[in-house]
C-alpha cells in the first residue's frame, strides 16, 4: 500500500513533470508559473515534494537570469548596453552594404544618420515586441533578408548611380538628393509590404500552419540564418585577420575557458560570528559580458597599434580610418517620420519586398523557438507567434514611415548573444530598447560606432552567427538521425539552399517572365537561403511518408501541446499580455482573436 506521502507525490508529479532528457540532451523548458492547484492543496506532505521538485528544476537551470527575472536596474543597464553593442555591430553594416547603391561616398556622414534612425526605430519596436508581441527577449533590428530585395531594386537601370568621378564633383546637397529619392522608394515598398505581414500575423495565418512547421523545417531555416552570413563575416574580418582572430580568441577565452571564473565583488558589513571574515560575493563577469569585454579590449589594442604607427595607413583595423564621419555628424538629430521626404510606391518594389517579408516571417518563427530554447522557456504558443509576426509587421510599418531603408525583424545576433551570456531576461532587452532610442537621437553616437574597426565586427560575427547555426542544428535532436528519409531532407535542404542563391547572385538576370515585378519577386525568393531551405524542408517533411517518431513529432508535440490552440490549465503564462488579462479571460469573444492569449482554435 502506498503511504499518504507517496500518493501526494504521485499526484504532484503527474501534474508537474520533471524536465525530460532525450538523446542525451537536456530539453528542459522551465514553467513560468505555479498552478493555483498547488496553493489550494497546501499540506505538509505536498510542500515537501514541491520543495524537492523546485530543487531539481533549479539544479537543471543554467541561466543566470531567466525570462521573467528582473535583475537590479544597474545590472539591466549594463546587460542592456551589451545587447546594444551586439545590435550596433549588425546595423552598422547596413549603410556599408547599401551605401554604394544609394550613391553615398565611403566617408559620407549620412551613413551615421541612417544608423541613428535604425537605432531609434529598432528601440521602439524592441519595446513593443517584448511587451505586447511575442514577449521573448528578442531585439528587433535590420535584416539581411530585406537587403536582398532592396539591392535588387537599386540594380534596376533607373536607379543606377552616376560614375564615381561625377559623384565626387557634385555638391553635398546634390548627393543627398540622390540617396534620399532612392531610400524613399525602398521605404514605400517596406511600408506597403508591412501591411501584409501584419495581416498574416494578427490574422493568425502564421499560427494556423504552425503545426506543419516541424523540426525538419526549422532546422535548415535557423541554421541557414548563420550559414548564409559567412560572406559578411569574411568581408569584415578580411580587413585584418590578426585583429579578427584576436577578437575570436578573446571571446572564446571569456565565454568558454573563463566562464567559471568569478570576479570578487566589494563587500561591506560586519564580520561573521566567531570573528571570522564574512564570505565575499562573486560575479560571473566573463560569462555575462564576453562580447562587450572582447570588443573593448580589441578596440583598445587597435587604438594602441594606430597611435604607435604599427598599422599601415590603409589598414581597416586603424581607429582613425573613419574619423571624418564622426567629425561631420551633428551631436543631436531627433529622427522623425518622413525625414527624407514622402515614401514612394511602385508595384515591382512592393512585390520584391514581399519576398523579404515572407522570408523574414519564416526566419522569425525559427528565431522564436531558438530564443525560447536559450531562455529555458516553453515553446511559444500560437497566440504568441501570431502577435510576434504581427508586431514585426508593425515595426516594418514604422521603419517605412521613418525611412530606415530596411525592415525590422528578430535580430539573430542577439539571440546568439543570449546563448553565450546565459542571460535571458525580458527586462534586460526592454532596457536595451530604451538605450537604442536614447542613442538614436544622438547622431555622434551612431557615427562613433561606425568607426569600430571592421575586423572586430568580423570576429564577433564568426562567433554569434556560429551560435545561431548551432541552434538550428540542435533542433535535429528531436528527429531520428538514423533515418535515410530525414538525412536526405536535411542534407538536401541545407546544401541546395546554399547552391541556388549563390548561382542566382552570379546570374541576376536569368529569370525572364516578361513581367518586371515577377522577375524581381522570383529572383529575390530564390536568392534567399533561409527561404529556399525552409521551403524544401517544409514540403519534403510534410509530403514524404514517415512515422511521427521518425519525424520527431512525438517528442516535439510534447513541448508544443499549447500550440493546439486550446486553453488549458498548464498553458504557460509567460506569453500572456502584461495588462488586462483578467478582463481578457472573462470576455468570451477574445477566444476568437488569433493574437489573444485565450485564443481557442478548436
SS3 readout for 222-269: HHHHHHCCHHHHHHHHCCCHHHHHHHHHHHHHHHHHCCCCCEECCCCC
Tell me the pLDDT tens digit for each residue of 146-172. 776 787 778 766 788 888 888 888 888
Burial class (CB in 10 A: 0-12, 13-18, 19+), 334: exposed
What are the residues whose beta carbons fall under 8 Å from the beta carbon of 589, sequence distance 6 or more? none
- Which pLDDT score is estimated for 31? 40
- Give CA torsion, residues 368, 358, 382, 491, to 10 deg: -60
What pTM was computed for the model? Answer: 0.70
- Residue ranges of the chain whose pLDDT lies below 70: 1-61, 89-90, 144-145, 148, 156-157, 207-210, 266-280, 283, 288, 355, 359, 413, 416, 420, 517, 557-571, 601-602
- Which pLDDT score is estimated for 559? 54
Three-state SS sequence of 58-96: HHHCCCCECCCCCCCHHHHHHHHHHHHHHHHHHHCHHHH
Q: Tell me if 508 sits within 8 A of 523, measured CB to CB.
A: yes
- Which pLDDT score is estimated for 117? 92
C-alpha span between 4 and 7 (Å, rounded) = 5
- Give CA torsion, residues 395, 396, 398, 404, to 10 deg: 120
Size (the chain), residues = 602
C-alpha cell at 223: 541554421
- Which pLDDT score is estimated for 26? 39
- Coil vs helix vs strand at 197: helix
Amino acid at each position: 500500500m502506498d503511504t499518504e506521502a507517496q500518493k501526494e507525490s504521485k499526484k504532484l508529479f503527474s501534474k508537474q513533470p520533471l524536465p525530460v532528457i532525450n538523446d542525451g540532451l537536456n530539453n528542459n523548458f522551465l514553467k513560468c508559473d505555479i498552478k493555483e492547484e498547488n496553493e489550494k492543496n497546501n499540506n505538509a506532505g505536498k510542500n515537501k515534494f514541491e520543495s524537492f521538485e523546485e530543487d531539481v528544476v533549479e539544479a537543471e537551470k543554467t541561466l543566470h537570469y531567466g525570462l521573467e527575472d528582473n535583475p537590479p536596474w544597474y545590472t539591466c543597464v549594463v546587460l542592456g548596453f551589451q545587447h546594444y553593442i551586439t545590435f550596433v555591430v549588425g546595423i552598422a553594416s547596413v549603410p556599408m552594404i547599401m551605401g554604394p547603391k544609394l550613391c553615398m561616398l565611403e566617408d559620407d556622414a549620412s551613413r551615421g544618420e541612417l544608423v541613428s534612425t535604425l537605432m531609434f526605430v529598432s528601440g521602439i519596436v524592441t519595446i513593443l515586441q517584448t511587451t505586447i508581441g511575442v514577449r521573448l527577449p528578442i531585439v528587433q533590428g535590420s535584416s539581411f533578408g530585406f537587403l536582398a530585395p532592396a539591392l535588387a531594386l537599386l540594380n534596376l537601370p533607373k536607379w543606377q548611380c552616376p560614375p564615381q568621378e561625377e559623384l565626387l564633383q557634385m555638391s553635398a546637397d546634390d548627393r543627398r538628393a540622390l540617396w534620399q529619392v532612392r531610400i524613399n522608394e525602398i521605404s514605400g515598398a517596406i511600408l506597403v509590404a508591412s501591411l501584409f505581414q501584419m495581416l498574416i500575423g494578427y490574422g493568425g495565418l502564421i499560427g494556423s500552419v504552425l503545426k506543419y512547421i516541424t523540426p525538419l523545417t526549422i532546422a535548415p531555416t535557423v541554421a541557414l540564418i548563420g550559414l548564409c552570413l559567412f560572406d559578411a563575416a569574411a568581408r569584415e574580418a578580411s580587413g585584418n585577420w590578426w585583429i579578427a582572430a584576436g577578437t575570436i580568441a578573446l571571446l572564446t577565452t571569456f565565454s568558454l575557458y573563463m566562464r567559471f571564473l568569478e570576479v570578487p565583488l566589494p563587500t561591506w558589513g560586519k564580520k561573521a560570528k566567531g570573528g571570522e571574515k564574512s564570505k565575499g560575493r562573486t560575479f560571473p563577469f566573463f560569462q555575462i559580458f564576453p562580447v562587450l569585454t572582447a570588443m573593448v579590449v580589441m578596440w583598445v589594442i587597435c587604438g594602441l597599434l594606430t597611435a604607435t604607427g604599427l598599422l599601415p595607413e590603409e589598414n581597416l583595423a586603424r581607429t582613425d580610418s573613419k574619423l571624418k564621419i564622426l567629425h561631420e555628424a551633428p551631436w543631436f538629430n531627433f529622427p522623425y517620420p518622413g525625414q527624407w521626404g514622402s515614401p514612394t510606391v511602385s508595384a515591382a518594389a512592393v512585390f520584391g519586398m514581399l519576398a523579404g517579408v515572407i522570408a523574414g516571417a519564416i526566419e522569425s518563427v525559427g528565431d522564436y523557438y531558438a530564443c525560447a530554447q536559450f531562455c529555458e522557456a516553453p515553446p511559444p504558443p500560437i497566440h504568441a507567434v501570431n502577435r510576434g509576426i504581427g508586431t514585426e509587421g508593425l515595426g516594418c510599418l514604422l521603419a517605412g514611415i521613418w525611412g530606415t531603408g530596411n525592415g525590422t525583424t528578430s535580430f539573430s545576433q542577439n539571440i546568439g548573444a543570449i546563448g553565450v551570456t546565459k542571460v535571458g531576461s525580458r527586462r534586460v532587452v526592454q532596457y536595451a530598447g530604451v538605450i537604442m532610442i536614447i542613442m538614436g537621437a544622438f547622431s555622434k553616437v551612431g557615427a562613433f560606432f561606425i568607426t569600430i574597426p571592421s575586423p572586430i565586427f568580423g570576429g564577433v560575427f564568426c562567433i554569434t552567427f556560429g551560435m545561431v547555426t548551432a541552434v538550428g542544428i540542435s533542433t535535429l535532436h528531436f528527429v531520428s538521425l538514423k533515418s535515410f528519409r530525414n538525412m536526405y531532407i536535411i542534407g538536401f535542404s541545407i546544401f541546395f539552399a546554399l547552391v541556388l542563391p549563390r548561382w542566382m547572385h552570379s546570374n541576376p538576370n536569368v529569370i525572364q517572365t516578361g513581367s518586371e515585378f515577377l522577375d524581381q519577386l522570383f529572383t529575390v525568393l530564390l536568392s534567399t537561403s533561409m527561404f529556399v531551405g525552409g521551403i524544401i524542408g517544409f514540403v519534403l517533411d510534410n509530403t514524404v511518408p514517415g512515422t511521427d517518431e521518425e519525424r520527431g513529432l512525438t517528442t516535439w508535440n510534447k513541448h508544443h501541446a499549447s500550440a493546439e490552440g486550446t486553453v488549458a490549465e498548464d498553458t504557460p503564462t509567460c506569453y500572456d499580455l502584461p495588462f488586462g488579462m483578467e478582463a481578457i479571460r472573462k470576455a468570451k469573444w477574445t477566444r476568437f482573436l488569433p493574437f489573444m492569449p485565450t485564443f481557442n482554435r478548436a
